[in-house]
Structure formats: C-alpha cells, structure tokens
Amino acid sequence: MVVNGLDRPLIADVDAERAVLGACIASPKVALEVAEILAGPDDFLREQHRTMFWALVELATMEKPTDLISLRDHLQASGRLGDAGGIRYLVEVNESLVAVGQATHHAGIVAKLAERRRAVQAAMRLLQKLENPERETGDALEEFAADVSRARHPDARPGGRIRLTPASQIQPRPVVWAWEDDGHGRIPAGSLISAAGREGTGKSSFGIWLASEITRGTLPGTLYGQPRQVVYVAVEDSWSHTLVPRLIAAGADLDRVYRAEAVVDEGETTTLSLPHDLAELESVITKHGVGLVVLDPLMSTIGGTIDTHRERDVRKALDPLARLADRTSAVVLGIAHFNKGTGTDASSLITGSGAFKNVPRAIFGFACDPDDGTRVMTQTKNSLGIGDLPSLAYRIVSAKVETTEGTAEVGRFVFDGQSDRSVAQILGDRTDPDERSERDEAAAWLDEYITAQGEAPANDVMKAGTAAGFSKDTLKRAKNRAGVESRKAAFGSGWVWAKVHTEGSTKGAKGA
C-alpha cells in the first residue's frame, strides 16, 4: 500500500501499535513506561489507537486497573468507546498482547515511525511551497528546517527563532522575600512553592496559617504591614465545616480570603484546571491585588488531559504557573502529598512526576513523630536563598470556633521555635527499628540526667552522653522524647538543656 508516495511499512506499523496497546491493557505500569517513550497519542497512526492509548494513560495515572473491562467502562463513561473502535476492536487489540518486556521495544518502533511520518509531512509541505513561484527558495528551506526540527521534537513551539540578549543589558535585582525568618529568606515573592507531607501532618494547616498572615499583613517580609487578598482553591476540604472555621481560628481577615472556582455553565462551577484557567487566574490576581494563591492539593488542579507521572506533561501546567507567579509577584502555594515510598528526602517523596519538586522555588516538608507527637517542618529546597535553614517545630492546637449552629472544634497551626530534628530524621526513625531503640535508651538517660541537674550546659550534656555511649546526633533526636529543650542560659552566654517549659516558645518562627 502506498501513502503520500511512500510504502505504508515505511511510515507505520499497525501490528506494533496493537502490540503496544495490548501490553498496556495488561499492565498499568507498562502504560506509563510507554508514555515516557512516545511523544504523545499522535504517535499512533490510527485514530482508534490514539483514543485507546489516551484512555489507558488516564487510567494508569489515576492508579486504576487498565484491564479490558476497566478500559471499556472508562471509554464508555467518557463517550469515546465508538472512537476507539467499539468493544469488538478492544477485544481484538487485547489479543495482540506481546510479552510485557517487549512492549518498550515495540513502542520505540511506533515512535520512530511517527517521527518519519512527521518528516514526510514536512517534505510534502516543502514541495508545495517550492511549486509556488512567488515563494523564495531560501525562506522555504528555512521553514523546512524548522519543520524537520519539530518532526524530531513535536513539543517544540512554532517559530524556530532564538533571540540573544547580552547579560550586560539585563538589570541585576536582589531577591525580594515574602517571608523572612530570623533574618533569612524562606519564601521568595512571585514564586511557586510547595508544602508536602503525609496525611495529617499539618501541611494544609500551614496553608491556612500563611493565608492568615498575608491577610493581616503580619508576615515578616516585603508584605509586612500591607494586608493582601488570598485566593484559595480547596478540593478536598469543606469550606463551611473546615476551611472557614480554621481561618477564623487562625485570625484571618475573612473579607480578604476568596474561594476560587471555575464557572463552566450558568450557575455551575468546577475546580480550576491548569493550564486551561491560568489566564483567568492571572486576571483575578492582578485585579484584586492578590498576594497568595493556595492550591490544595496542587495535583487536583492539573488538567485531566495531563499525565501527572510525565515530567514533560506536568511542566505544561507548572512552568506557566511559575511564570504567572513571577509576573504578578504573588506567592503560589501548592499542597502536595507524599507517595508510599520509604525514603527520607521530602522532595523526592512528592507524589507524581519530578516536575512537582523541580519547578517550585521552595519546598517545605512536614512530618510527625508517631511516638512522641513531635511535628517538624524542614525547608528541603530554597533555590534563591540559604539551603540549610534550621527546621522549625510546630503544633496543631485545638481551637473552638463559635458558629450560629454551635461550636466547631478545629486545629490551629502554631510554630514552636527551631528544632534540632529534621523531617528526614523523623522519616528515617520510622523505618529503622534499631535507631528507634537507641533513641529510646538515650531519652531515658537524658531524662534522668537533666532531672538530676535541673539544667546543664549543652557541651556538658554532650560530653556526659558521649561517655555513656550515645552519639551527639542520637542525643539531639532524643531531646523531644525526653521532654528536654535547648535555650539561652539565664546568666552568662551559651546554651543550656533543660526540661521543656509548658507554655512553649515561638522564637525562630516570626509571624507565627
């Protein structure tokens, strides 16, 4: 068979396409692996195959089964079953299954042939241009070169030109900080940032705390003394039962906090979808003087057509979002969940593709020790500032909010000063039983030692603890479990270790 003057086998292999789809039906993991190899659904020649592959990736991204029945139901629910060839064709493709291990090989064949098709199309366009006597040959060849480049890199933007600007013509500027803590910048103004942790650690409560500070103009930084509006996109929590009571407990100016929803039809709303709603979001930020946008969770605002496990796809939403933050000088906070991994790097544990950790300028990890309830926030990324800022301890205290229908009990985020522990240490302690046993022994020794001494210089505690067989790191990790804190000596200089004061402290967390 001849297509566009070329033999069909030179530009397509339908059997390879069906083999790839059959393997994807057999395994969601394979579907995601294939998605990393192909430029997109358009790499498939047949429209039925493109529709089928897109549906398989959607299921795999949502961590749902991709078996034949699940695929059929998903296509039927979205009205695309006919576009995929109907149930009979699904069964036929399912029977084309190759060994799962060969799926990536066949995907490579599909990708190479798709690149060849795009090159053929570029050549056909060149011929059409050269047949026009009014077209300059040089211009046609330049456009052909750009077309060939896009054939190999289909995600490239049209135009094909690069503008060069000498660095000498670019005005240097200092970083403007929306949040400065103890003299060091933590959150840059006009940036995309992320707060990540497991369920129940307090990351959403941190978003409420930050919103409250922004609305009252009490956050140390460039907005101090300048109350600003906050746009809040909450997908998982109820506004009436959870968010508004929490905002009241945090002392937020409710007149400055806005629930944001996308209007799809008259009277109907839905969650914002990125990047689709970015233009309207930027208009809202500019019009209302918004200082903070909270997306909770960030993952739920990513458009349904984007594969959240492919960095290239996710960047189509996050890169424009980061540029929006830069243009408007607003902080955009995305709340993120940890995946089920057992690592200790908070940034690497964020669910989804690497873009969720690579694009934000700052990332805050949150963790709670299940043994003693200690909660710690560690800044794991600070692209524009100091990278080893101290971790901060925090609590979620109970607060009662009176409503017209009774009393609502909610949690309130409160900083408790600097912490000697980090999120990585807490996550590591939870997975290392030997480490936990050693810490328990150190905590028992430390409790007895400090109780006997009343308080002791930090250096003396370290010397005595080392002599007792404990490392300095273990002693630091045991402090909270032993009910011990470090504080400035009442007389003279230096630090002492003593039993924890009941009222707590907010030193080291301005604006808490």
pLDDT tens column, 208-262: 999 999 999 999 999 999 999 999 999 888 999 999 999 999 999 999 999 999 8
User: In the structure encoding, which two tokens stand for residue 318, read together?
Assistant: 């996050």
Least-confidence region, from 159-168, 391-400, 465-474: 159-168
Mean pLDDT of 347-364: 92
Q: What does the alpha-carbon distance between residue 421 and residue 487 come to, in Å, rounded to a whole number?
A: 15
Question: Are both 364 and 460 inside the same structural domain?
Answer: no
Give the CA angle between residues 43, 302, 323 to the nearest 5°: 95
CB 140 within 8 A of CB 108: no
SS3 content of the chain, % helix, strand, coil (to 5): 45, 20, 35
Least-confidence region, from 90-99, 157-166, 368-377: 157-166
Question: Are both 264 and 145 inside the same structural domain?
Answer: no
Determine the pLDDT at residue 169: 92
| DSSP classification of residue 350 | B
Mean of per-residue pLDDT scores for the chain = 87
Residue 481 lies in a domain: yes
pLDDT(291) > 80: yes
Residue 165 lies in a domain: no
**Tokens 């479990």, residue located:** 481
Determine the pLDDT at residue 216: 98
Pairing status of strand 495-499 against strand 375-382: unpaired
Question: Are both 69 and 116 inside the same structural domain?
Answer: yes
pLDDT(49) > 70: yes
Question: Are both 126 and 197 inside the same structural domain?
Answer: no
pLDDT(430) > 90: no
Question: Are both 318 and 268 inside the same structural domain?
Answer: yes
Class of residue 388 by CB neighbours under 10 A (exposed 0-12, middle 13-18, buried 19+): exposed
Question: Percent of the chain scored above 70 by pLDDT?
Answer: 90
| DSSP classification of residue 239 | I
Question: Are both 240 and 301 inside the same structural domain?
Answer: yes
Least-confidence region, from 3-17, 178-192, 338-352, 353-367: 3-17
pLDDT(268) > 80: yes
Q: What does the alpha-carbon distance between residue 488 and residue 490 come to, in Å, rounded to a whole number?
A: 6
User: In the structure encoding, which two tokens stand for residue 39, read together?
Assistant: 């430029």
Question: Are both 264 and 352 inside the same structural domain?
Answer: yes
Q: What does the alpha-carbon distance between residue 129 and residue 464 come to, in Å, rounded to a whole number?
A: 85
Q: Length of the chain in residues, anyone?
A: 512
CATH number at residue 490: 1.10.10.10
pLDDT digits (tens, 9 = 90+) for 128-147: 888 888 888 888 888 888 77
Q: Of the candidates 394, 424, 454, which is a domain's last residue?
A: 424
Question: Are both 98 and 181 inside the same structural domain?
Answer: no
Q: Of the candidates 378, 396, 424, which is a domain's last residue?
A: 424
Determine the pLDDT at residue 160: 53
Residue 511 lies in a domain: no
Question: Are both 137 and 19 inside the same structural domain?
Answer: yes
User: In the structure encoding, which two tokens stand for residue 190, read together?
Assistant: 């006009």
pLDDT(157) > 60: no
Q: What does the alpha-carbon distance between residue 420 and residue 487 come to, in Å, rounded to a whole number?
A: 12
| Torsion sign (Cα): 207, 213, 217, 218 | negative
CATH number at residue 81: 1.10.860.10
Mean pLDDT of 417-421: 92
Mean pLDDT of 297-307: 89
Question: Are both 380 and 254 inside the same structural domain?
Answer: yes
CATH number at residue 310: 3.40.50.300
Question: Are both 400 and 470 inside the same structural domain?
Answer: no
Mean pLDDT of 461-467: 90
Where in the sequence is the domain holding 411, given as residue range(s)?
Answer: 177-424
Q: How many domains does the chain have?
A: 3
Mean pLDDT of 204-211: 97
Mean pLDDT of 186-195: 98
Q: DSSP of 232-249, one letter per residue?
A: EEESSS-IIIIIHHHHHH
Question: Are both 336 and 384 inside the same structural domain?
Answer: yes
Residue 3 lies in a domain: no
pLDDT(433) > 70: no
SS3 469: coil
